[in-house]
């Protein structure tokens, strides 16, 4: 990997699912939790979006979990290679659409649930409030925004602790010191996490008043925001 050159296309696509399972603590458990949360918000004729759906794994799992209901699932992904890979997974699912688009430039149908699973952290900070505002406006009253993000520590001491613990985790997952260093260099200017409070501020400015943390492991956190 080169300096500040990480991307989600090309060779990474086929390896992505295995790589991310090793890289993000409780990644699979987070998918399961999102599906269980959908029981409270999705019903017949609901629309559910996943923003930054990558290979479509979570969108597919949500559709499987809600197979007995008449729900439309729409995965939005900006990388065409990811979209092509995801569409091969969901060929047999008429209720799933995987589309290549930028969330800011597309029209969203009114939805009962919108999911962003470790996506916003890769979007330019100047665009994040616009995205949160659009999500809020697109949700039906009582609808849910489920947000999972890598988060920074609230100050330098906590951030140092978070970084050390996460590096230990990656070493235990089989990544070498060189892998960790190279990945860190490649993500410069690409991965820009906000703190827990920074994400809460984005949600609150968008209009969300009911927000709770639903999962937390060191520097990885899930939030549930209800309109």
Q: Is residue 42 part of a domain?
A: yes
Q: Is residue 2 part of a domain?
A: no
Sign of CA dihedral 182, 184, 189, 190: positive
Give how many domains the chain has, as a whole number: 1
| Beta carbons within 10 angstroms of residue 218's beta carbon | 18
Domain span at 81: 12-226
CATH number of the domain bearing residue 86: 3.40.50.150
Report how far apart, in Å, the C-alpha atoms of 185 and of each of 47, 154, 175, 182, 188 are: 38, 23, 15, 5, 6
CA distance 79 to 91: 19
For helices 57-65 and 27-38, what crossing angle results, to 10°? Answer: 40
Q: Is residue 39 part of a domain?
A: yes
The pLDDT of residue 73 is 98
Q: Is residue 155 part of a domain?
A: yes
Asked if residues 195 and 151 have their Cβ atoms less than 8 Å apart, the reply is yes
> What does the block give as tokens for 149?
């993000």
pLDDT tens string, the chain, 227 residues long: the values are 455 454 555 667 788 888 889 999 999 999 999 999 999 999 999 999 999 999 999 999 999 999 999 999 999 999 999 999 999 999 999 999 999 999 999 999 999 999 999 999 999 999 999 999 999 999 999 999 999 999 999 999 999 999 999 999 999 999 899 888 888 787 776 789 999 999 999 999 999 999 999 999 999 999 999 99
The pLDDT of residue 16 is 80
Q: Is residue 143 part of a domain?
A: yes
CA distance 185 to 18: 21
């Amino acid at each position: 990997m080169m300096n500040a050159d990480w991307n989600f296309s090309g060779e990474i696509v086929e390896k992505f699912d295995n790589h991310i399972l090793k890289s993000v603590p409780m990644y699979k458990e987070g998918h399961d939790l999102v599906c269980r949360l959908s029981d409270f918000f999705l019903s017949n004729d609901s629309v559910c979006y996943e923003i930054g759906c990558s290979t479509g794994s979570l969108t597919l799992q949500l559709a499987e979990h809600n197979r007995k209901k008449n729900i439309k699932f729409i995965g939005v992904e900006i990388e065409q290679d990811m979209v092509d890979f995801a569409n091969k997974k969901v060929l047999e699912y008429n209720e799933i659409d995987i589309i290549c688009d930028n969330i800011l430039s597309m029209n969203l149908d009114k939805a009962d649930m919108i999911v962003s699973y470790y996506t916003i952290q890769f979007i330019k900070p100047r665009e994040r409030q616009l995205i949160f505002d659009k999500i809020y406006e697109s949700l039906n009253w009582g609808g849910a925004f489920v947000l999972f993000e890598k988060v920074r520590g609230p100050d330098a001491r906590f951030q140092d602790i978070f970084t050390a613990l996460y590096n230990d985790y990656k070493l235990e997952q089989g990544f070498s010191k060189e892998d960790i260093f190279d990945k860190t260099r490649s993500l410069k200017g690409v991965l820009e996490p906000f703190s827990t409070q920074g994400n809460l501020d984005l949600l609150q400015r968008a209009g969300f008043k009911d927000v709770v943390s639903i999962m937390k492991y060191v520097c990885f956190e899930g939030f549930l925001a209800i309109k």
